[in-house]
Amino acid sequence: MEYGERWAVIQLSGCSGCPSAVFSSPVLQDLVYSMPVAYFPMVTDSQRVLSADIAVVSGAVCKRAEEELLKRVRESCSKLVALGTCAVYGGVVSREVESAKAVPEVVEVDQVIPGCPPPEKLVGEFLIAEVSGGEFRLPSYNVCKECPRAPLRRKPPIRVRYLEPPEELQAKACFLDHETLCLGPVTRGGCGAVCIELGVPCHGCLGPPAKSYTSQLANFLSILDIQLEKSKLMQFVSRYIRVGVL
Amino acid sequence: MSVRIVRVLTRVESPAEVVFHVRGEEVERVELKPMHCRRVEHALAGLPAEAVPAYVSRICGLCPIAHQIASSHAIEAALGLERPPEAALAVRKLALLAEHIKSHTLHLFLHALPELFSYAYNSPQDVFTLSKAEREYPKRMGALIAFSDRVLAELGGRGVIPMISAAGGVYSRLTAASRDKIEKRLKQAKAAVDWVRDLLYSRRLLDKAMVDKELYDLPERIKLVTSASREELWGEVKVYAAEQELKLIPAVSLLSEDYSREALLTGPAARYLARGGSIHGVMNLLSHIRIRLDEVKACIDAVEKALNEPRLYHGVLRERLKVSDSQEAAALEAPRGTLVHYYRIKRGAIAESRILTPTMINMSTMIMVANRLVELASDLAFPRDYIIGKTMAAIRLFDPCISCLYHTVEQL
């Protein structure tokens, strides 16, 4: 069966992890192969973006040619989706190239799917909604809702001394209860808290559940008694999102 | 007067521009131009050393594990950890095997096999056209990806950019339940390899492409690059440890030497030669398809064997590293070839770094192959568009990991 909507998949500066993710799940593959593709240079010989119903853009905008391409895509496609944290917030690329822009800084977007990489579950739900005419909504809850660890017990101000969990950390305790910074409270859920499951505090790759990351982050940090060098703190909280930009 | 024809290099892992300098119908020379921009080494400066493996896995979404492990080894060596825990070494080895399977699968199904099918069908092909014309095509590709992704997800939470290797060890070990999930997918993965083998030989896809064989020849004088000559740096992660030195260039010396004018070769074909394979078996890019498929098969067998290793299931996962000022490099075999990570660490943070990726090593030879191809094809009076198409085919058959090439765009 072939669905009616024509797709374009555009890569800007990034690691190619987001577009390759569509080939990483049998469910996604079934959907992808059933869609008419107007432009997907990673896997087809398409040279130019012709008109498409949906354009999925990954990566950040680093070069003028990328900005021009993005504007052409916006003009020729009915719906534009920013896929992955580089596209949505600038991501790691914005740490490397000072002038890098997120896609919404250049053109209007209809949908964002953040994550580094974007969670397979969210990408799958989005694709299913598109082909079935349903509605897709990003989770509005934070990572704590999915966290396998015990809820935070401490009351503010919560002392934070570590960016890496200390050795004595109890397997199921909240990182913040053990003075370890975790951005789960100010990060959108939907990832299944995969990193936390592996013992790694959340670095915030899905971005904020609400629009203003900077004010959310400022509120969060204000309830912490942070005993870390400021530069290390800033590096941690801006690994994926430029604080103050969005 | 010479004119420039610019084409997007498609069916590679990040697009680039190929510039053809054309006079009349004759293509005179070829250049590769970047379309994207990254400055990974710039961003690493000042980052805590322990944050590096997770960061560098974002260099390439197709070979993140190789970057994670190479950086982990370099940082561990710099900070005085002589040997990571045994469980960590076993987990890293298993993850790297899975990444080789996945990367080669994507290369075969997205880039190389469509090239062969275009000869069989006498029209351009891609994964979408083939998924309709060859009903088994997406199913077999899916079986191999599902197998490798299952290994990666069981070890690192997800199939794409999993969290596996950290400075000092790994995050997780395998469980008996995980092993069962992986083993369930073994049979279909092996069957998919047999199916591709059948395509190449019984359906004679390789033979049909031989009409253009001479266009895909490598330069006569090739120097091999593998990490085997610095085996001590990659510890147990020796998927394809060379048994003999065969004109090998010490991988780490590539960091300081001017290698750009040499015809270097790294990747599956270099490993094949280093294992004692015949030079005649690698001098044509079409034969690299067979070598990649053989590596997929070898890696699946190695995963099956590794699942019985007790070290995967028990023991310490990670050692704490001491903060000190030091520097070290590590090299390993990524799917596309030798990968080198170098770090100078000062007070626990990165003061300087240098990352040499397989595609950077292969780059000069890729350009040589492309220019040799246009010269030969122009001499044979092939149509211009045909020459352009085959030039792009040669690049993608050689090494399509342009994402790894982009990590420091100034080095192009």
Better-predicted residue by pLDDT, A170 or B240? A170
pLDDT on residue B315: 92
* Closest residue, chain A, to B103 (C-alpha): A20
pLDDT over threshold 70, residue A72: yes
For A15, phi then psi, to 5°, come to: -105, 0
How confident is residue B1, by pLDDT bands cut at 50, 70 and 90? confident
Q: What is the pLDDT of residue B247?
A: 46
Q: Please report how many Cα atoms fall inside a 13 Å half-sphere around the Cα of residue B100, on the Cβ side.
A: 32
- Give me the pLDDT at residue B289, please: 97
State the smallest CA–CA distance between residue A22 and chain B in angstroms: 10
Closest Cα in chain A, distance from residue B65 (Å) = 12
Rg, chain A, Cα only: 19
Of residues A49 and B241, more confidence is placed in A49
pLDDT at A27: 67
* Preceding amide of A157 cis, omega within 30: yes
ipTM rounded to 2 decimals: 0.94
- pLDDT of B360 reads 87
Domain ranges (residues) in chain A: 7-132, 143-237
Q: What is the pLDDT of residue B329?
A: 85
Give the separation between CA B186 and CA B193, rounded to whole angstroms: 11
The answer to whether A149 touches A240, Cβ cutoff 8 Å, is no
User: Mean of the pLDDT values across residues B22-50?
Assistant: 89
pLDDT(B237) > 60: no
Residue B42 near residue A96, CB atoms below 8 Å: yes
Number of CB atoms found within 10 A of residue A157's CB: 11
CATH number of A7-132: 3.40.50.700
| Whether A66 contacts A41, CB under 8 Å | no
List alpha helices for A34-151, DSSP H: 64-76, 85-89, 93-96, 120-132
Query: B110 and A62: CB-CB below 8 Å?
Result: no
Q: From the CA of A229, how many Å to the nearest CA of chain B?
A: 12
> Given this model, what pLDDT does residue A231 score?
85
Task: Kindly indicate the confidence band of residue B2, based on its pLDDT and cuts at 50, 70 and 90.
Answer: confident
- A84 CB within 8 Å of a chain B CB: no
Q: How far apart are CA B351 and CA B343, in angstroms?
A: 8
Look at A180 and B243; give whichever has higher pLDDT: A180
Residue A124 backbone dihedrals phi, psi, to 5 degrees? -60, -45
- Range B81-97 average pLDDT: 93
Is pLDDT at A130 greater than 50 in this prediction? yes
**For all residues of chain B together, what is the average pLDDT?**
88
pLDDT score for A32: 73
Express each pLDDT in B263-283 by its tens digit: 888 899 988 887 778 888 899
pLDDT tens-digit series, residues B282-319: 999 999 999 999 999 999 999 999 999 999 999 999 99
Shortest CA distance from B45: residue in chain A: A96
Which token pair is A20? 């390759």
Mean pLDDT for the stretch of residues B8-34: 89
Residue-range definition of the domain harbouring residue B388: 3-411
Q: Are residues A43 and B126 in contact, defined by beta-carbon separation less than 8 angstroms?
A: yes
Cα of A96 to nearest chain B Cα, Å: 5
pLDDT given at position A168: 65
Burial A76-88 (b: 16+ CB within 10 A, else e): bbeebbbbbbbbb
Identify whether the C-beta of residue A107 lies closer than 8 Å to the C-beta of residue A154: no
The CA distances from residue B310 to B87, B89, B90, B154, B306, in Å, are 9, 12, 9, 16, 9
**Given this model, what pLDDT does residue A49 score?**
80
Mutate to test the interface with B, among A7, A15, A230 (most CBs of B within 10 A): A15
Confidence of residue A58 (pLDDT cuts 50, 70, 90): very high
What residues of chain B lie within 8 A of the CB of A47, using their CB? 7-8, 10
- 3-class secondary structure for A76-108? HEEEEEEECHHHHHECCHHHHCCCCECHHHCCC
Residue A246, pLDDT score: 38
Q: Name which residue leads in pLDDT, B404 or A226.
A: A226
Average pLDDT, integer, range B254-264: 67
Selection from A198, A193, A162 nearest residue A177 by Cα: A162
pLDDT score of B228: 62
Chain A's closest residue to B389, CA to CA, is A45
* Mean pLDDT score, B130-145: 93
CB contact under 8 A, A43 and B35: no
Element (H, E) at B209: helix B205-209
Is residue A5 scored above 90 in pLDDT? no
What's the DSSP call for residue B200?
H
Pairing type for strands B264-266 and B223-225 reads parallel
Contact A187, A143 (CB under 8 A): yes
Output the pLDDT for position A4: 61
The pLDDT of B318-334, averaged and rounded, is 88
B242 vs B226, higher pLDDT: B226
SS3 for A122? helix
B358 near B399, Cβ under 8 Å? Answer: yes
Angle between helix B285-306 and helix B136-156 axes, rounded to 10 deg? 50
Residue pair B171/A198 in contact by the 8 Å Cβ criterion:
yes
DSSP H or E run through B343 = strand B337-346
pLDDT at A211 over 90: no
What's at B272, amino acid-wise?
A: Y
- Domains held by chain B: number: 1
Q: What is the pLDDT at residue B246?
A: 39
Q: How far is CA B331 from the centre of its chain?
A: 13
Q: What CATH number did the domain enclosing B221 receive?
A: 1.10.645.10
**Mean pLDDT throughout A155-182?**
87
Name every residue whose Cβ is closer than 8 Å to that of residue B368 and which is 6 or more positions away in sequence: B219, B263
**Amino acid type, A246:** L
Q: Please name the helix (run of DSSP H) or strand (run of DSSP E) that holds residue B72, with its range, or none.
A: helix B64-78
Place of tokens 């000042």: B46
Predicted confidence at residue A202, as pLDDT, reads: 96
Nearest to A13 among B37, B64, B160 (CB): B37
pLDDT above 90 as % of chain A = 63
**pLDDT 10s digits, B154-205:** 999 999 999 999 999 999 999 999 999 999 999 999 999 999 999 999 999 9
Contact B400, A16 (CB under 8 A): no
Give the pLDDT mean for B322-338.
88
Residues of chain B found within 8 Å of residue A8, distances taken between Cβ atoms: none
Least confident of A160-164, B182-186, B260-264: B260-264
pLDDT at A186 over 60: yes
Contact B62, B77 (CB under 8 A): no
Do you know the residue count of chain B? 412
Q: Is the pLDDT of residue A14 over 80?
A: yes
8 Å CB contact of A197 and B157: yes
pLDDT at residue B230 tops 50: no
**Nearest partner of B34 among A65, A114, A237, judged by Cα:** A65
Mean pLDDT of A73-91: 95
Calpha distance B236→B321 (Å, rounded): 19
Check if the beta carbon of residue B340 is closer than 8 Å to that of residue B70. yes
Averaged pLDDT, B378-395: 92
Q: Which pLDDT score is estimated for B238?
A: 37
Instruction: Decide if B51 and A235 are in contact by the 8 Å CB cutoff.
Output: yes
